[in-house]
């Protein structure tokens, strides 16, 4: 007897539905729980061959070596550009610069529609966070896409050679990441896994690791690596203890030439000194091994992480290296690299390279060919001996370059579009490109070195010296835009804003005024007495860069100079909307609150700056003043003491501390701070009167009289002080 088919079908259907329901229950919401945590670490400017695990004898890199020992080390790995922003964009998107559209530092925004690895993990239910340490990765360039938290807070820094807010040291970046791991990530059993990206910037020049890391290393550069290695140990300990297995990938965006091929740092050439990077991988189920081939590429990071975490694959230019990491022999894939920096910054020919495991061709006015196996240092150009190989590889390179997606230009800002257009990248279609024209970077590297050593590094500290060298460089090659940019900075530092304006207007005339330049132009127009023109330039820059806070801060400075407090407040508020923790926006808003007499609001804002930057002397001083006014004397004195400890020659902090001590019945302690404040300058009548009154309180009549006399010399119109002095003159 056969059963009726009906109920069977029904049961079958119910079963299918039940299974589907189960599957549905396991997908998006609850599925991530079983997945591993993922940690991506990028060490800026880190050469592979300066790590112990890559055979460097002088290395002090126990953490990275330990990671290599317990994981998979790719002997050869390469980035796609010797520059932070383009190379990181490749790591984060799985695309070469041809397709993600970021071609240089500081000027390009990741186009809409280019998806990041963080978006993949976020969509899969991961908690995503990034902690970056260098200016080229600020959120306004689009790197924050897909991150729940994108921490790009960079401290102001004390290095007079450099602009403020450009770097965060590895200890502080690690602190921030550990804080997130301990709080937001709260790795309970049922919690969703995390995707965490930590970027360290320390091996980038200048090489100045904390003193205790400089002993026992072969060079200051190695000291920076050692410092990062020690901080990475803290990070790994926390990730390993997070209650879930973790996929860990450590790599770099590019290396550092360290003098090879005549290049001091990175950014111009495409030799392995800057293109080869470390690539260390640890993941559940992977046994320790060294993978000799294939060469790992920056574009392979995304598909590899996605694969190891069990997320669905999607098409990018790179491929997953999971099977290679598991011991399977994968065929090598060629790799593209570029540097448009020589063209965009120097007006020279750009460089493009095509690389297989064995050969590299570099497209330049004089193309080069290297046998990487026989000549890893790329000292012997073989292009003359092997022209057919050059032709064949060049053909592949040009084919890849012809596929540039319009995406790269379409979504970029106006300035980027202009730059891409000038390079012929907009609407590039098929066919072969002509040999690049302009100076071959090989012939110009000496100028780059002079610019770096005698221009950029001293533009702010020895501006007149820098101006001389930069002027000489411009005489040799007037097309070097970066030299004009640098000279404008030097002129500004030398207190010659009108000269700075002239150089920046020249950049503008050539259609090469970047938004960063526009801010410098605005500042120098203001300083040279042209507030209206300054406001015009800044307002235009604000319109063209909806995520760039700096022009708003500079516009607020113009408003304050024009005594338009309301407009300044509005500009600061808009800057803070873009970057809630921008310290200068917070400071501006706090100062405005103080001007308006809203001490409570000012206090809150200064306190927030100090949460971000506990040693900010300006905020310590101002919060001290606010606390003093509200009668919290001890707290005020404590804050002011910290400000003075941090900046012993800060005249403002010294004066307020002196005043706070004097008005708290501690005149004997106050006097030396008045004296130090006057020594630090400026010598104001207010400071002199404070000193005079305090000396008087201590019975030092001659001392008091001297201070009052000097005060009256500065400002004769002080009847009270004149009266006091008269009193003192009587026996």
Residues that bind Zn ion (CB under 5 A): 44, 84, 253
User: Which CB sits closer to Zn ion, 222 or 652?
Assistant: 222
Q: Which residue do the tokens 């259609």 mark?
A: 511
Spatial distance between the Cα atoms of 27 and 696, rounded to a whole number of angstroms = 79
Q: With contact defined as beta carbons under 8 Å apart, do 56 and 258 qualify? A: no
- For Zn ion, the closer of residues 167 and 307 by Cβ is 167
Whether the Cβ atoms of residue 151 and residue 132 lie closer than 8 Å to each other = yes
* Residue nearer to Zn ion on the CB measure, 341 or 394: 341
Strand, helix or coil for residue 130: strand
Residue 143 or 673: which CB sits closer to Zn ion? 143
Rounded least distance, CB 337 to Zn ion, Å: 14
Decide whether 61 or 105 has the Cβ nearer to Zn ion.
Answer: 105
Cβ-based nearer residue to Zn ion, 84 or 153: 84
CB of 13 to Zn ion, least distance (A): 58
Find residue 198's DSSP bridge partners.
41, 131
Which lies closer to Zn ion via its Cβ, residue 47 or residue 355?
47
In the three-class reduction of DSSP (H, G, I as helix; E, B as strand; rest coil), residue 438 is classed as coil
Q: Which is nearer to Zn ion, 43 or 660 (CB)?
A: 43
Which of 256, 579 has the CB closer to Zn ion? 256
Q: CB of residue 684 vs Zn ion: minimum separation in angstroms? A: 45
Query: Do residues 77 and 325 touch, judged by C-beta distance below 8 A?
Result: no
Question: How many alpha carbons fall within 13 Å on the CB side of residue 574?
Answer: 20
- What CA–CA distances, in Å, run from 95 to 2, 100, 188, 560, 685? 60, 6, 35, 45, 63
| Closest to Zn ion by CB, 84 or 345 | 84
Residue 4, judged by CB atoms within 10 A of its CB (0-12, 13-18, 19+), counts as: exposed
**Cα separation, 107 vs 101, whole angstroms:** 11
**Measured from the CB of residue 548, what is the shortest distance to Zn ion in angstroms?**
21
Q: Which is nearer to Zn ion, 229 or 253 (CB)?
A: 253
- Taking the complex as a whole, the smallest distance from the CB of residue 256 to Zn ion amounts, in Å, to 9
Q: What radius of gyration, in Å, describes the C-alpha atoms of the chain?
A: 30
Mind giving me the DSSP string for 339-394?
E-HHHHHHSS--EEEEE-SSEEEEESSS-EEEETTT-TT--S--TTT-HHHHHHHH
> Which residue has the closest beta carbon to Zn ion?
84
Q: How far is the CB of 85 from Zn ion (least distance, A)?
A: 8
**Could you count the other beta carbons within 10 Å of the beta carbon of residue 703?**
16
Structure tokens at 655: 């004066």
Strand ranges across the sheet with 37-43? 149-151, 127-131, 194-200, 37-43, 246-251, 279-282, 72-74, 289-291
Rounded least distance, CB 38 to Zn ion, Å: 22
Of the candidates 166, 155, 204, 153, which has an alpha carbon nearest to the alpha carbon of residue 43?
204
Shortest separation between residue 45's beta carbon and Zn ion, angstroms: 5
Tell the smallest beta-carbon distance from residue 396 to Zn ion (Å).
27
The neighbouring-strand residues paired with 149 are: 129
Taking the complex as a whole, the smallest distance from the CB of residue 644 to Zn ion amounts, in Å, to: 37
Q: What's the min distance (Å) between Cβ of 281 and Zn ion?
A: 21
Q: Which helix (H) or strand (E) holds 128?
A: strand 127-131
Torsion angle defined by CA atoms of residues 340, 344, 348 and 351, in that order, rounded to the nearest 10 degrees:
0
Q: Please state the closest distance from residue 203 (CB atom) to Zn ion, in A.
A: 9
Nearer to Zn ion, 44 or 652 (CB): 44
């Amino acid at each position: 007897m056969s059963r009726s088919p009906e109920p069977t079908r029904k049961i079958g259907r119910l079963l299918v539905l039940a299974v589907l329901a189960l599957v549905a229950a396991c997908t998006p919401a609850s599925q991530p729980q079983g997945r591993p945590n993922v940690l991506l670490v990028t060490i800026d400017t880190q050469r592979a061959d300066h790590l112990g695990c890559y055979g460097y004898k002088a290395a002090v890199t126990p953490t990275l070596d330990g990671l290599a020992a317990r994981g998979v080390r790719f002997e050869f790995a390469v980035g796609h550009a010797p520059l932070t922003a383009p190379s990181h964009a490749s790591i984060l998107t799985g695309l070469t610069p041809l397709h993600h559209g970021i071609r240089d530092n500081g000027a390009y925004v990741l186009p809409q529609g280019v998806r990041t690895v963080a978006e993949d993990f976020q969509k899969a239910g991961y908690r995503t966070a990034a902690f970056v340490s260098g200016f080229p990765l600020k959120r306004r360039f689009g790197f924050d896409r897909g991150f729940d938290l994108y921490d790009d807070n960079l401290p102001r820094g004390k290095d007079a050679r450099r602009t403020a807010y450009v770097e965060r040291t590895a200890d502080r970046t690690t602190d921030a990441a550990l804080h997130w791991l301990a709080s937001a990530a709260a790795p309970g059993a049922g919690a969703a896994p995390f995707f965490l990206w930590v970027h360290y910037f320390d091996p980038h020049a200048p090489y100045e690791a904390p003193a205790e890391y400089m002993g026992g290393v072969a060079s200051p550069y190695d000291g920076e690596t050692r410092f990062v290695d020690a901080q990475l140990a803290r990070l790994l300990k926390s990730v390993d203890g997070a209650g879930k297995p973790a996929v860990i990938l450590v790599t770099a965006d590019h290396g550092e030439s360290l003098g090879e091929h005549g290049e001091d740092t990175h950014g111009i050439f495409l030799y392995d000194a800057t293109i080869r990077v470390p690539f260390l991988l640890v993941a559940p189920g992977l046994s320790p091994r060294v993978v000799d081939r294939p060469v790992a590429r920056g574009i392979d990071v995304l598909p590899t992480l996605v694969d190891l975490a069990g997320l669905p694959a999607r098409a990018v230019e790179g491929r997953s290296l999971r099977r290679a990491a598991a011991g399977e022999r994968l065929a090598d894939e060629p790799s593209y690299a570029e540097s448009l920096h020589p063209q965009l910054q120097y007006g020279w020919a750009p460089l493009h390279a095509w690389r297989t495991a064995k050969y590299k061709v570099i497209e330049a006015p004089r193309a080069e060919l290297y046998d990487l196996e026989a000549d890893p240092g790329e000292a012997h150009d073989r292009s003359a001996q092997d022209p057919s190989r050059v032709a064949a590889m060049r053909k592949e390179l040009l084919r890849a370059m012809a596929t540039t997606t319009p995406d790269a230009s379409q979504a970029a800002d106006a300035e980027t579009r202009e730059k891409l257009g000038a390079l012929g990248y907009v609407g590039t279609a098929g066919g072969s490109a002509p040999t690049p024209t302009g100076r071959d970077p090989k012939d110009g590297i000496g100028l780059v070195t002079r610019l770096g050593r005698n221009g950029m590094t001293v533009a702010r500290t020895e501006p007149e010296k820098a101006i001389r060298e930069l002027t000489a460089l411009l005489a040799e090659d007037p097309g070097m835009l970066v030299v004009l940019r640098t000279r404008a900075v030097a002129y500004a530092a030398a207190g010659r804003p009108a000269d700075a304006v002239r150089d920046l207007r020249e950049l503008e005339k050539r259609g090469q005024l970047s938004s960063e330049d526009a801010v410098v132009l605005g500042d120098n127009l203001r300083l040279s007495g042209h507030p209206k023109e300054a406001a015009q330039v800044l307002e235009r820059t604000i319109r063209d860069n909806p995520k760039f806070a700096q022009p708003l801060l500079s516009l607020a400075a113009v408003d304050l100079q024009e005594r338009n407090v309301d407009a300044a407040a509005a500009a600061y508020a808009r800057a803070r909307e873009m970057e809630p923790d921008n310290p200068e926006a917070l400071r501006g808003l706090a100062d405005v609150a103080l001007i308006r007499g809203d001490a409570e609001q000012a206090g809150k804002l200064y306190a927030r700056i100090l949460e971000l930057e506990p040693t900010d002397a300006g905020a310590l001083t101002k919060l001290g003043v606010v606390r003093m006014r509200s009668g919290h004397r001890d707290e005020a004195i404590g804050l002011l003491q910290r400000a003075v400890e941090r900046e012993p020659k800060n005249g403002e902090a010294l004066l307020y501390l002196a005043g706070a001590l004097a008005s708290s019945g501690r005149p004997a302690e106050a006097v030396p701070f008045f004296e130090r404040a006057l020594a630090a300058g400026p010598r104001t009548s207010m400071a002199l009167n404070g000193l005079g009154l305090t000396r008087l309180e201590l019975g030092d009549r001659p001392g008091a009289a001297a201070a009052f006399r000097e005060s009256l010399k500065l400002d004769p119109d002080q009847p009270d002080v004149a009266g006091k002095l008269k009193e003192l003159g009587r026996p």
